[in-house]
Structures are given as C-alpha cells and as structure tokens.
Structure 1
C-alpha cells in the first residue's frame, strides 16, 4: 500500500487470512476459499450524521450523533462525517463532544465548501471553521458543473481558483483533505473538459482523493461505468503520483447502490453513503447494502466478517435513534429480507437454504424467517414450531390440523404472517401447550366527552393470576390506552419486566366495507421491548374486542419470553 499526504490509497495486493474467509458453501452460498487471495480494499465513508440528516423527518441531537458515531467506530468504518462546523449549533456541539470522546478505529471528518468567491482563503469563515473544529480530516465540495458556476454568477476561472486555493489552505494546515466534486457526472456529460479542469485544480492544490458525486441522483450505471473509467485513466495519465477516486451517489433513480458498486468495479476506492440510505430527497447510497455486496459478493475488503455481523443491529439502532420505523423490505438487514411464505419455498429451504436464499442471513446479523398464512403448508408449520419452541411430534395429521385452523381463521380476517406473537400463542393452544400468565375475568370501559375537553376513557379490569385476583382501574387518551394502562397496572407488580415493553403502533383495518359500522375489523398492535418488535392481532365486529385480543396477546407473548414470575405472585 502507498500513502500520500496521510491518505490511504493503493488497494491491490492485500492478502487475507483463512480466518477471514467464508466457510461452508451450503450454509453461506459462497465458494470456500482454498488459499489466500488478494482482495481490493475499499474505504467506507459514512455521512449519516451530515447528509443523512438532510432527509425528511430525520434529526439527531449532538448526543445522538456521538452514540451513532461510536457504533460506526465499533464497526471500524474508516471515516465518519460529523457535520458542517459553523453552520449550526448542532454541528458545533457535536465537534465539542468529539474532542471529549475516544474513537478507536474511525476518523471524524468535518464537511464544508470551498471559499466564497473573491474572498481570500485566510478570511473565509467556512475554511476557518474547518480548521478550528479540531479534527484532522476535512472534506470540502466545489462546483464541477459549469451550469452551477454560471448560476453563481462567477467566471469559470474563479471557480477553479476557489477549488485550488481552498484545498491548498487546508493542506497547509496539515489536514487530510478529500474533495467532493459536486454534480460531477452531470457536469462531465455536459462539459467534460471543464469538469476535468475542476479535478485538476483540486490535485494542484494538493488533494489526492477525489470524490465523484452524482448529486442529483439521475445518472445510470452505464454512464457511471464509462465516466469513472475515463476519469481514472485520464488522472493516472496526467499525474505521476496516483490519484484515488471515490463515489458519492444519491438515490433519485433507485440506483445509488448499483452506481456505487459500479464505480468501485471501475477504479473507485472509496464509497460515501449513509446507514439505511437516509438522505435528502430519495436518500443516499445505503451502506447496509453496499457493505455486504462488496465484502460477500465481490470479495473486496471493506470490513471484516465479524463486523459485518453487526450490520443489522447497527441499522436498527440508527432507525431507533432517528425515530424512524425500520423498512422491512430493506435488503440484507430488513425484517423481511430472508422471510419465506410459500410452502414450496419453505420445504426447499429446510433441505437446502441456498435454494431460495442468495446468502446466509447470519453473515449480516439477520435471521431466516418463515411466515405462516393461508398459503402455508406443513413445512411452514414444522419450521415455525421449531423456531418458536413449540413441540410438535411427527404426526402429519396434527400438522394438517394446524394448517387448516390457520386457514379458517385467516378466512375470518386474521393475518398471522404479520402477527407472529399471536401465531405462537395459537400454535400453543392448538397443541395443548398454552399456559396463560393471566386470565381475564372482566373489564369495563367508559368514554366521556364534554364541551370543554376532548374524549377521555376509563377502564376497570379484573384478572386472575394463579390464585390471585387483581382489580385495577386506569385512565387513557382512548379506550385501548385505558385498557393498556389498567392491564399494565395489574400485572407489573407481579411481572416487573413488563415495564420494558411498550406499544409502538396500532393499526385498524375494516375488512368488509359494505357492512358499514357493523363491519368486522382487524387490529394489529406492534409492541417493542429492549430486544425486538413483535406484532399481535385481533379480529371482531367490535373494535374494543378486537383491540383487547391483540393487547392481551402482546402481554401473553412478552411474558412467555421471560422466566417464571417474581416472588410477588404470592404476596
């Protein structure tokens, strides 16, 4: 490997040990490596904390950003972009916290622009903020598209000077500098000669890592391929010392990951992106997809296999911190990424996983899931029973009976492929293994409304836990909220771990619209604890009854995951 101005560049010739290869092709769907082989190294550059925050409804406090940065550091992401110093108090506070935080594997990067037009670099506030924020790595962007230069109402020559002088100023202050060539691919398609001049200006200023940006997200992979190859060839021909290229792709055509991978195959050695693809408009290249594609599909060295197993937990952590619902269909790390519903699929997967899986989900910290629905067969039931710890013997008649029961219930409106908590309880009931942690004796719900305040609800509930009868009452913003509060109040003295569970989503679906207010409704409740999110379901013509079914199942399911109740049971 070769270092230029502190920047890691060369990517060929890196050997990996057998411990870092993928074993057992039947389990991982990859060929076993019989000997050491060279792997191209690709540096990952995470911009979740800056570009990701430009996404709609995405916000991280400075403290949130530190927590995410530490998780990225644990993943050994080489570069973490923290924000634009001086642009807002959030960014400034983050860099203050960075100075008090130790990072073991990652470099925190500050982001900014070239100097303002006709302003000496030593007087430019943006460049001064980049120097004073205290980090050793800086990324600045400049204009590569003559269209934008004209919009700024400056000359093409002034833009080139802004790039060259800004890079040189930062290099003179001993900073590691990356240059983001904003709108490069669009600029190259319009005016390749000028776009290349902007890159040359950055190199003349001292930068040795140039990031080609598809800022509008409209470039397609075949253009990414041609332009990246042409640029790489031209740069290596024009300069005696090697120049590293990177890619920064947006997802407006749904091509950000494909474009990033294409650029790497054409010479790029850095990929900029965000966790979960968060970012402005349609988002950025999703590193949760880029990383396994590079490491597992293309055998490139962007992270270790051990760190790759942390990918799904990282994705969920960032989603939770952003207060965004995780996307089930997100490749590699989504809840549905390795889910199987059709009976034929499940039967095949149980015999040979790679028949319907392109890789082992364990490699990215995910897990195989088998769904049970009216499309299920005996294979689904057998798999789910084993997964959930429900004992089912080899009697095929019992399997058929469970499948038939599930299909009858789904005909009534239940949907067990989205309510695995209720599915586990149902399977235990059908096999005589269900042991309820509480039994309902009765409940009463009242709604009050007057002209001075909105509706509010009272619930009184009577339940039995073993030989103990609990009667409690509680208020809530609605009948389900009141029932939840009353049930929780009755149970938490006996099962204190319930405090870790709370409702995160409540969905109501009318099943027979032509029946008007007498229609049957389906209620799905999503609950979460410290480990996971789980769904339960209820169906009835009465929305309170359907809600109670789903609510009670959520408590029963949570309690089934725990050990025996505490000694408070006998008090």
Structure 2
C-alpha cells in the first residue's frame, strides 16, 4: 500500500506562536521539502494575507522534482456561490495544481459557529469542490473536527466526506483538529470510515491530519495508516498551533523503517536529520536535541554499561542505525561515565594513550564546579588532551581588559585590549565590538590570525548563559556555552565562573582552539559534529 506525505509546515506550521516566515524563507523550505521526497507541499492560504499570495504568484513550481504545490482555502460561505466567493475563485486562477479545501464535519460547529444547517454545509462543500475540480485542480478535502463530529453524529460526519467525493475530491482527510483523540479510538473510526468511503468511492483516498494536544499526534497518524489511510498530513518537527501538528520526521522514519512502507528514497531518508535542522534554523527555532531519530541526543550513549554494549553490538541500545536517517552516534562524557566511554572518546580524538581514571576525576571535579560537557565537545576534547599531556595552546595570555562606553548618541560600544604571547612574540591588540564577547573575539583574532589562518573559516553561531545558583543573585556562578562552526561542522565549548566575562573568555578560547586543531587534522573527528 502506497502512502503519500502532505506537508503543511508553510501553512499550519506558521501558526505556531512566535514563528513567522518571509516569502524567501518559504521558497527555501519548499525546495528542501521537495529534496526530501515530500509528495504535497501546502504553501499557504493565499486569500488570507499578501505574503502567501506573493509566494503562489512568484514561485516556479516546475523546478520541483517530487512535490506538488497546494493552495489552501475554506469552503464557500453558507448561502453563497463558489464562483462568487473570492477565497475560492482565487485558487482557480493560481498555477498551484492542487487545492485543499477545509470545511466543518462536526454538526455542533456547523450550527453554532457557522450558524447554518447541516444541509447547507453539505451544499457548500459540494459546490466548492465541484468548482475547483472543474478548474482542473486536484482537490483534497479536509474534514475539520472529523473525530469529534463522528462521535457526536457519525451520519453527518460521513455525509461531508461523501459530498466532497461525489463532487470530485481526490482525497478526503479526517482531521483530529482538537488533538484529543487517542490511538485506539482513532484507529477504529478510521477503519469504519475507510470501509464506508471505499465501498461507494473506491478511487478516493482517505487521509489523516492530527494535532499533538494529547501527545498522540504521531501515534494517531501511524494508527490511521494501519487502519487503511493512505495520505498523511503533518509538519516538519511538529511545528504548529498550540502543542503542534503531527511530526512528519518520525512518521517518515517509522513508516519506512518499521512498517515496511517505501515513503521516500533511501538517499532521501538519510537527509532526514539535515532537513529537520535546516528547517528549524529557517524558522528561528532551537532544535530539541532529544527529537526521535534526528535529535543530537537520539543516538547519544552516556552510561558506562550502554557504551560497553554499543561497542560490542550497536543493536544493544539502538533501535535503528543512526546513519539510516543521517544522524551520528555520540558518546557524551560526564560524571556518570565509565572508563570505556573515556577511552572511546579519546580514540575518536586520535589520542592513543589516555589515563581514564585521571580524566574521569578531572571531569567529576569540574562538573562539581558547574562545568557541563554534554553540549561542549570542544572543551571535553581539550580537557582529555590536557590531562593526557597532548594539548598545544594557541597562545599564552598575559592580560585582557574590557571597557564599556555609553555615548551621548545612545550607542553603546565595548572595547577589548588583549596582551598575549604567541609563538615567542608578545602581541598587544585592541578591538571594538557590540559587547564584551564580540570585542574579545575580534581582538583575539587580530592578535593571532596571522599565525592561525584557519580562524578565518570559524565563526560563532550561538551564545548561551545559564545562572547556576540563582539564590546568590549577582554573586551567582555563571555557565556560558558558545557554539562555533567552520561551515561544515558545529561544536560547543563551555566556561564557568562568577565573572560572566571570564566564563565567556574560557568558552571562546576553547572553541577557537578546538576549531584550529581540527582544521589541521588530516580529517576532522566525529566529535565536533552537531
């Protein structure tokens, strides 16, 4: 049985609180979804805002290899005509080959929200679908609140699907709009619905659209497929209103790796992690590191017993190979790690001789002070190297000084002066920045970049501060995490101290030193990969 994917990241996904996309963002995401092998890309509701209309009028869908672009609208208004409703006629005029129409299937919503009769609701659905089908559009009908409607009045809920199918809809989609249905109940309703629709309209597909308000979005989508659904709607990373939509990332992986459905090509499946992170970045969302399949921690093994098991057979603690979805296995190190974890990490770093006991003691001592290495592979690598006597610092610091100045025009400028020794030479440099970390970064680079040209490729990508003991107020200890990248790999470095500038300096230096060291290796280790 073939299952087709319908992505609504660009429409339903943008309803997530705090998310907004430019037209260029939407174009880039659409191209990424196509590369991933998505079958349908619902790109927006053109009648609702100028930005969505701009996308549909300006995007050249012919450049897509797999996906069909979908435009969304509501059914025509009660007691009106489809050919006289601007939201409907607009879709007929656009080049998007697929139209997705939403209408209510819950009798209570029809009567209380729309203020009309069930009969007029069915007429509205049929009229709208018929009009767009006549305009040579593939029509997908979304039955809003289908499961609530079915439980309240199954006859009317089913009649909305029949009205759409009889008018020419290619696919009818059962929407768990409130996200409150659980898998067992949902599967039973889908099974009954598929039986009813295919009996009368065998050529019409039945799809599923779930939300995650009860934490069952993905489970419900999979249950629907098991019940005969052949069309799954969702968003990348589950972005969406309230608690989000069904997350297509684990849906794709589960259907293909666990349920024997060929959804995308094998090479496309291996891009799943990259696509998930790319779209998070464009939506300005921090990726959840514990996302199934694609999170940075999805294949991270920290406990000594787990690391030992993985070293003997990855299947002991991994349900699939990380490479199958484009992820990597990681061995984060912390105070609960065992000696085998330390040795494995040292091997990754190319360190042959390591005193695992000494490294573990150093880690325990520093974690007690507030350091945390799970997201700071760069600092961990340097700690192991220093403990093993294989560290080669880029420079020797003499002093640094920070001056912040508030000017009369309202502009705030920070100046950093650094005195250091690099390869036997004493260097003094000064630089300005928009804050202390920026100024220190620029001054340090100015001082040593002639000796380390690799710095030109390294840039800071993220800066995070965490207060470790809030009860001490302004005397609290601060942990700073700085992420850096060379455009290919991403790595983190950590610094801790009561002085936030000193903690930032530690993380800054570790990140740059690690980046230069890695760049000088014949091939970079896996350690720094995000």
Normalising by structure 2, we get a TM-score of: 0.93
Q: How far does residue 284 in structure 1 lie from its aligned partner after superposition?
A: 0.7
Cα deviation, 1:391-425, whole Å, max 9, x if unaligned, reads 336xxxx1222112221222222212231110011
Provide the residue aligned with 1:404 in structure 2.
361
Q: How far does residue 508 in structure 1 lie from its aligned partner after superposition?
A: 3.3
Q: Does 1:340 align with 2:297?
A: no
Q: Does 1:418 align with 2:379?
A: no
Q: 2:5 aligns with which of 19, 44, 49?
A: 44
Provide the residue aligned with 1:268 in structure 2.
229
Provide the residue aligned with 2:494 in structure 1.
537
Counterparts of residues 495-514 of structure 1 (less than 5 Å): 495=452, 497-512=454-469
Aligned pair in 2 of structure 1 residues 199, 511: CA closer, same or farther (>3 Å)? closer
Q: 2:46 aligns with which of 44, 69, 85?
A: 85
Q: How far does residue 365 in structure 1 lie from its aligned partner after superposition?
A: 0.3
Q: How far does residue 232 in structure 1 lie from its aligned partner after superposition?
A: 0.9
Q: How far does residue 486 in structure 1 lie from its aligned partner after superposition?
A: 1.8
Q: How far does residue 562 in structure 1 lie from its aligned partner after superposition?
A: 1.3
Q: 1:474 aligns with which of 431, 439, 444?
A: 431
Aligned pair in 2 of structure 1 residues 199, 518: CA closer, same or farther (>3 Å)? closer
Cα deviation, 1:34-92, whole Å, max 9, x if unaligned, reads xxxxxx32101111111111111222211111111111111221111111223222112
In structure 2, what is the Cα distance between the partners aligned to 1:249 and 1:241? 24
For the 8 Å contact 1:66–1:97, the answer to whether it is kept is: no
Provide the residue aligned with 2:481 in structure 1.
524
Aligned pair in 2 of structure 1 residues 517, 154: CA closer, same or farther (>3 Å)? closer
Q: Does 1:165 align with 2:130?
A: no
Task: Point out where structure 1 has 5 or more consecutive residues left out of the alignment.
Answer: 1-39, 565-571
SS in 2 for 1:425: helix
Q: How far does residue 428 in structure 1 lie from its aligned partner after superposition?
A: 1.2
In structure 2, what is the Cα distance between the partners aligned to 1:497 and 1:358? 39
Provide the residue aligned with 1:155 in structure 2.
117
In structure 2, what is the Cα distance between the partners aligned to 1:374 and 1:433? 22
SS in 1 for 2:415: strand
Provide the residue aligned with 1:20 in structure 2.
none
Q: Does 1:447 align with 2:404?
A: yes
For the 8 Å contact 1:333–1:366, the answer to whether it is kept is: yes
In structure 2, what is the Cα distance between the partners aligned to 1:101 and 1:197? 36
Aligned pair in 2 of structure 1 residues 252, 528: CA closer, same or farther (>3 Å)? farther
SS in 1 for 2:328: coil
Cα deviation, 1:196-231, whole Å, max 9, x if unaligned, reads 111110011011311100111111111111100111
In structure 1, what is the Cα distance between the partners aligned to 2:398 and 2:261? 61
Q: How far does residue 336 in structure 1 lie from its aligned partner after superposition?
A: 0.8
Q: How far does residue 249 in structure 1 lie from its aligned partner after superposition?
A: 0.5
Q: Does 1:103 align with 2:60?
A: no
SS in 2 for 1:45: strand
Deviates more, 1:496-505 or 1:280-289: 496-505
Aligned pair in 2 of structure 1 residues 491, 192: CA closer, same or farther (>3 Å)? farther
For the 8 Å contact 1:99–1:134, the answer to whether it is kept is: no
Deviates more, 1:92-101 or 1:487-496: 487-496
Q: Does 1:175 align with 2:137?
A: yes
Q: 1:548 aligns with which of 499, 502, 505?
A: 505
How many residue pairs get aligned? The number is 521
Deviates more, 1:451-460 or 1:351-360: 451-460
In structure 1, what is the Cα distance between the partners aligned to 2:362 and 2:178? 52
Q: Does 1:189 align with 2:151?
A: yes
Q: Does 1:200 align with 2:201?
A: no
Q: How far does residue 472 in structure 1 lie from its aligned partner after superposition?
A: 1.9
Q: How far does residue 332 in structure 1 lie from its aligned partner after superposition?
A: 0.6
Provide the residue aligned with 2:524 in structure 1.
none
Counterparts of residues 2-13 of structure 1 (less than 5 Å): none
Cα deviation, 1:174-208, whole Å, max 9, x if unaligned, reads 11111111111111111111101111100110113
Q: How far does residue 100 in structure 1 lie from its aligned partner after superposition?
A: 6.6
Q: How far does residue 292 in structure 1 lie from its aligned partner after superposition?
A: 0.5
Counterparts of residues 348-363 of structure 1 (less than 5 Å): 348-363=309-324
Aligned pair in 2 of structure 1 residues 323, 501: CA closer, same or farther (>3 Å)? farther
Deviates more, 1:379-388 or 1:465-474: 465-474
In structure 2, what is the Cα distance between the partners aligned to 1:352 and 1:486? 48
Q: How far does residue 143 in structure 1 lie from its aligned partner after superposition?
A: 1.0
Provide the residue aligned with 1:118 in structure 2.
79
For the 8 Å contact 2:61–2:68, the answer to whether it is kept is: no
Aligned pair in 2 of structure 1 residues 146, 512: CA closer, same or farther (>3 Å)? closer
Q: How far does residue 159 in structure 1 lie from its aligned partner after superposition?
A: 0.7
Q: How far does residue 105 in structure 1 lie from its aligned partner after superposition?
A: 1.4
For the 8 Å contact 1:524–1:550, the answer to whether it is kept is: yes
Aligned pair in 2 of structure 1 residues 82, 521: CA closer, same or farther (>3 Å)? closer
Aligned pair in 2 of structure 1 residues 131, 344: CA closer, same or farther (>3 Å)? same
Q: 1:141 aligns with which of 94, 97, 102?
A: 102
SS in 2 for 1:339: coil
Q: 2:447 aligns with which of 490, 495, 518?
A: 490
In structure 2, what is the Cα distance between the partners aligned to 1:519 and 1:72? 45
Q: 2:30 aligns with which of 66, 69, 73?
A: 69
Provide the residue aligned with 1:294 in structure 2.
255
Counterparts of residues 226-237 of structure 1 (less than 5 Å): 226-237=188-199
Cα deviation, 1:334-356, whole Å, max 9, x if unaligned, reads 11111111111111111111111
